[in-house]
Structure 1
Amino acid sequence: MSGIIGKKVGMTSIFDAEGRNIPCTVIEAGPCVVTQVKTEEKDGYSSIQLGYDEAKEKNVTQPLKGHYAKANTTPKRKLVEFSEFENGLNLGDTVTVDIFAEGDYVDVVGTSKGKGFQGVVKRHGFAGVGGQTHGQHNRMRAPGSLGASSWPSRVFKGMRMAGRTGGDRVKIQNLQVLKVYAEQNLLVVSGSVPGAKGSYVILDK
């Protein structure tokens, strides 16, 4: 399995050969630098650590500065480990968007937009309680009964109620790569990707 770190640029749409309008997301993918190569003998498992996006020297700790110096690269803002790449990589090598081709299918991981504290209608899609007649002037977006009476005299764990929404790690699987712009480090994938514009995403083949 191989992958790359990127940044969500935004959404657009393109037309396919049959004239259908397909919604898609533009992702700035890489270039990423190999900052560490882990092996079975030394670390107990094999993986490749990639670094992406330039960070200021003043914002990087001294140990991390040494970590990047070993790879002969500048400090990075995002570090992610991937399982062993199909083609062997060495410390300091660069991974670009060229590892993807049009027609490939990728899994995209991102952090969803945070919505703050929300009610059950927005958080879980509840329909609310009844209509606006029969004296229900303020119950339209209420959760209704929770079902707890003399037994069990408590609320079960996992009950769908109001609470903090969003800001979670979300994986969207099997998005098709529609376009690859190697010179601009851009990737166009079908459908939507979790996160706001400018947020980091991880792409896995």
Structure 2
Amino acid sequence: MPSGLSPVDYQRLDAMISSTRFVRRGETLFRSGDPFQSLYALRSGCFKTVVMHREGHEQVTGFHLAAEPLGFDGVSTDRHACDAIALEDSVVCIVPFDLLELLCREVKAVQHHVHRMMCGEIVRESNLMMLLGTMTAEQRVAAFLLNLSTRMKARGYSPAQFVLRMTREEIGSYLGLKIETVSRMFSRLQKAGVIDARGKDVRILDQARLEAV
């Protein structure tokens, strides 16, 4: 929700987001090529977005946490460009895009909020390109953990201790690394006393050293 809305505008926005959907772990919210009709606000849970290469290889393009948007990939072409798959049982709020566009034209605060979210998606994709093009394997894993830490903190959770909802293989796909390399980088950071990783439970022990990687 954007800040600074009048009670009437809050009611209009709330009425527009009245529909929710439960998505079980492993189920797909939308698929590449599906008609674009709505944006989704992730109320709880976690999703990955993936694209499929011609040879059937899956490429993870993003991980989405609670309170983050899904579906902006469909705005430009009116069709979704990726699959959104739940990594755990999740609940999304459905935001019909035509109603959102109408509200944006009438309420500047909502328009500004949507523009900020869209710009955030652009920055995220730019950061991923930099991550894949300029960083070592260890730096990629460190940057991934720091990014998750920042997002957890923004949502009121511990920035130093969290559970990874994605597998090492999915992390590797996102970072452009083999699963063996991802596991080796986690082990290296753990031996150095920077993190404590036990399965999917991760604790950042030395934030400064992780940033320095």
What TM-score do the two structures reach when normalised by structure 1? 0.23
The structure whose RCO (Cα within 8 Å, separation 6+) is larger is: 1
What TM-score do the two structures reach when normalised by structure 2? 0.23
Mark the structure with the bigger radius of gyration: 1
Greater helix proportion: 2
